[in-house]
Amino acid sequence: MNTTNPGRKFLESIVPPLLLFAVVVVVWHACVLGFHLKPYVLPAPLAVAKALVNDRAILVRAVGYTGSAALCGFSASLLIGTAIAFVFSQSRIIRSCGYPYFIFLQTVPIVAIAPLIVRWCGNGFQSVAFVSLILSLFPILSNGTQGLLEIDPDLLDLFRLNNASRWQILTKLRFPSAVPGILAGARTSSGLAVVGAIVGEFFVGYGSKRFGLGYLINTTNDQLQIDRLFAAVFTSTLFGIAIFGLVNLISVTILRRWYDGPVEHRN
């Protein structure tokens, strides 16, 4: 078996989930027919496919809006999360003061504070991006802090023996060592950023006729257009997977180029 062939590897990773998908669609269709389910309870797979085709222009546009907000939120969380991780890595006191509040940020139900965010940031893109930022910040922050702190003691000794300054240790040792951790956090965060943007759109729109996937999910549900709802959810999922795949690809490339291979975390 030639496992090194990338084409074959790709097939091996994509065929089994597609097979399962086909099985689910068949069972789903059988259930709709067998139990005579109403379309507002569970639409048939074919109806969803039709909705996907009919709504394609709306869906593509919605992905564009949601994607931009998610990208903004994700980029901001990458920058802000890494920056806070830097600050946390410098002092235990700062760390123990600040860390619980970021856990709070992770655990607070986002739907509960979303209206507040809208009140503070205004109705529009910025609020959606902000919700996305809040939801995606924690993995980068916690993985980054861990990566900056978990340094091989021998390497720290090596730097100390060469009379390295704090800044040199940070830039030449801690930050490069933390990159695999930050990237692992980024992979988790990328999916959360998309979820954050969709949740944000439940509460805010971008203006008339400009809406994202979240708004689409919300309104089609209200209007009992369950086939369109399914189409929107399906698109959201595909979009989330695509973003995760992209971030994963970037991180694997970086890790392979500069580190000991595509690792989750060194050590």
Q: Does 99 help bind another protein (rule: CB under 8 A)? A: no
Distance, CA of 223 to CA of 112 (rounded, Å): 24
Which sign does the torsion angle of CA 151, 157, 158, 159 carry? positive
- Pick from 6, 34, 161, 267: which binds another protein (CB under 8 A)? 161
Q: How far is the CB of 153 from another protein (least distance, A)?
A: 9
Contact 161/176 with Cβ under 8 angstroms?
no
Q: Does 152 help bind another protein (rule: CB under 8 A)? A: yes
- Pick from 16, 39, 115, 176: which binds another protein (CB under 8 A)? 176
Q: How far is the CB of 266 from another protein (least distance, A)?
A: 8
Q: How far is the CB of 159 from another protein (least distance, A)?
A: 7
Decide whether 93 or 161 has the Cβ nearer to another protein. Answer: 161
In angstroms, what CA-CA distances link 125 with 48, 110, 172, 226, 239?
A: 29, 17, 38, 26, 19
C-alpha 214, offset from chain centre: 15
- Pick from 5, 54, 168, 237: which binds another protein (CB under 8 A)? 168
Q: Which two tokens stand for residue 149?
A: 């702190």
Q: How far is the CB of 254 from another protein (least distance, A)?
A: 10
Q: Does 264 help bind another protein (rule: CB under 8 A)? A: no
Decide whether 22 or 158 has the Cβ nearer to another protein. Answer: 158
Contact 194/236 with Cβ under 8 angstroms?
yes
Distance, CA of 101 to CA of 125 (rounded, Å): 25
Decide whether 173 or 243 has the Cβ nearer to another protein. Answer: 173
Residue with tokens 């123990």: 96
Contact 141/184 with Cβ under 8 angstroms?
no
C-alpha 119, offset from chain centre: 25
Q: Does 267 help bind another protein (rule: CB under 8 A)? A: no
Q: Does 154 help bind another protein (rule: CB under 8 A)? A: yes
Contact 232/222 with Cβ under 8 angstroms?
no
- Pick from 27, 157, 166, 223: which binds another protein (CB under 8 A)? 157
Site for another protein in 179-208 (CB under 8 A): 179
Contacting residues toward another protein, per CB under 8 A = 152, 154-155, 157-164, 168, 172-173, 176, 179, 258-261, 266
